[in-house]
Structure 1
Amino acid sequence: MNGFALHLMRHGAPERPGRLWGHEDEPSSAQGVALCVERARTLDFARVVTSDLSRAWAPGAIIAAERAVPHNADPQWRELHFGQWDGADPALLPQGDLARFWRDPDRFPPPGGERWSDLRGRIATALHACCDPMLIICHAGAMRAALAVLCGFDMRQGWAVDLPYGAVLSLKVWPGEQLSGQMTGQMTGLLT
């Protein structure tokens, strides 16, 4: 079966950068939105899917309108839920707890938050809805989870990929065999 192009774009810089923005709906700055729109102009896609959070949705709506392609928001593409830490400045959190989380987010998720494996499962479900060339505007955690699902990256390998605001990770995705349903992917580009 032929593969298809999948472009994952991290939303633009939020108005208040440096915080743990998970499910909190912090909008992107005007410059962040403009960067996403500009970078999308070089990509080939037939539709736009975004996280339902405004920092991803807002540039996606502009890009889809500019290209006259369908756009829909899917909450499965949200960032990891940081629970009680959502929107917090990491410097103000208990540093031992934060270090344990970064070292092993499955064993030490944020208080009231989501485990890494839950995010990975959510993204795996979202990826199964992908079948044609598309642009997905989402979050760094969701992009790293997609690398885990499609390319077999473990958590540390995913963190080795630099994904600044506005980064575009391009992949070729093969849907897999009918019986296994296992999708696979290959990185074809990274624009930072």
Structure 2
Amino acid sequence: MNAHMLHLMRHAAPQTTGLLLGQLDMPPHPDAVPLCVERARAIDFAQVFSSDLLRAAIPAERIAAAARVPHHADPRWRELHFGAWEGADPSTLPAVETARFWDAPDDNPPPDGERWSDLRLRVQSALVHIDRPTLVLGHAGSMRAALSLLCGFSYRQAWAIDLPYAALLSLRVWPGETPTAQITALTT
């Protein structure tokens, strides 16, 4: 099988930034959607996948319509579920608990939240079905999970990559039992 391009784009800025939105469904800020659409014009893709959360799905729908390709909303591309921390300003949470989470998210998930390994499993199950040039609008967490899986990055390596809103990563993916990838471009 031949390699294909996989473009990962972080969703448009939400109406309120600086919160642990996780799987809360906050719509994008209307002024932020055009940046996603503009960035997508520079790449080629045959389909668009996105998280089903509005901050990703709305720009994905617009991008797919402009490119005249199909769009599929898929909850496997959602952000990590922050449980009791959903919607919280991180500065208001217990510093010791959040530090433990960021240091070892599998051992110390947010209260009633999702583990890093669970997010990776969700994203892995979505990745195995992508076999042609594709744009995925997701979240910083789901993008980092994809990088971890495709490039072999550790948790710390994946989370060291800055992914501002509308950041675009382009990877060449080689299919196989365990797909592998090489980052070919990063646009922020």
User: Which of 169, 175, 179 is residue 183 of structure 1 equivalent to?
Assistant: 179
Matched, 1:131 2:113: no
- 1-side partners of 2:94 and 2:161: how far apart? 26
Distance in 2 between residues matched to 1:67 and 1:126, nearest whole Å: 22
Structure 1 equivalent of residue 11 of structure 2: 11
Aligned equivalent of 1:155: 155
In the alignment, residue 134 of structure 2 is paired with which amino acid?
M
Task: State the Cα RMSD in Å.
Answer: 0.6
Distance (whole Å) between structure 1 residues aligned to residue 29 and residue 89 of structure 2 = 18
Q: In the alignment, is residue 168 of structure 1 matched against residue 164 of structure 2?
A: no
Which consecutive unaligned segments of at least 5 residues does structure 1 have?
Answer: none
Q: Gaps spanning 5+ residues in structure 2: where?
A: none
The aligned residue for residue 91 of structure 2 is 91
The structural deviation recorded for 1:94 is 0.8
Tell me the equivalent position of 1:122: 122
Map 1:2-41 to 2 at 5 A: 2-41=2-41
Q: Partners of 2:32 and 2:175 in 1: how far apart?
A: 32
DSSP 3-state at the match of 1:30:
coil
TM-score by length of 2: 0.98
State the shift of 1:159 in Å. 1.4
**Helix, strand or coil for the counterpart of 2:99?**
helix
SS of alignment partner, residue 7 of structure 1:
strand
Task: Tell me if structure 2 keeps the 8 A contact 1:11–1:32.
Answer: no
Amino acid at match of 2:28: S
The alpha-carbon deviation at position 121 of structure 1 amounts to 0.9
The normalised TM-score by structure 1 is: 0.96
- Contact in 2 for aligned 1:106/1:117 (Cα 8 Å): yes
Deviation of the 1:162 alpha carbon: 1.1
What amino acid sits opposite 1:186 in the alignment?
Answer: Q
Secondary structure of the structure 1 residue equivalent to 2:173: strand
Q: Percent identity?
A: 59
Deviation, structure 1 residue 160: 1.7
Q: What is the CA–CA distance in structure 1 between the aligned matches of 2:43 and 2:28, rounded to whole Å?
A: 21
1:58 aligns with 2:58: yes
Displacement of 1:30 in angstroms is 1.2
Matched AA of 1:53: L
- How many equivalent residue pairs? 188
1:124-160 CA-partner distances (Å, limit 9, x unpaired) = 1110010000100000000000011100000110112
CA distance in 1, matches of 2:32, 2:126: 25
Partner of 2:101: 101
Q: Which amino acid aligns with 2:54?
A: S
CA distance in 1, matches of 2:163, 2:32: 14
3-state DSSP class of the match of 1:59? helix
The offset of 1:172, in angstroms, is 0.4
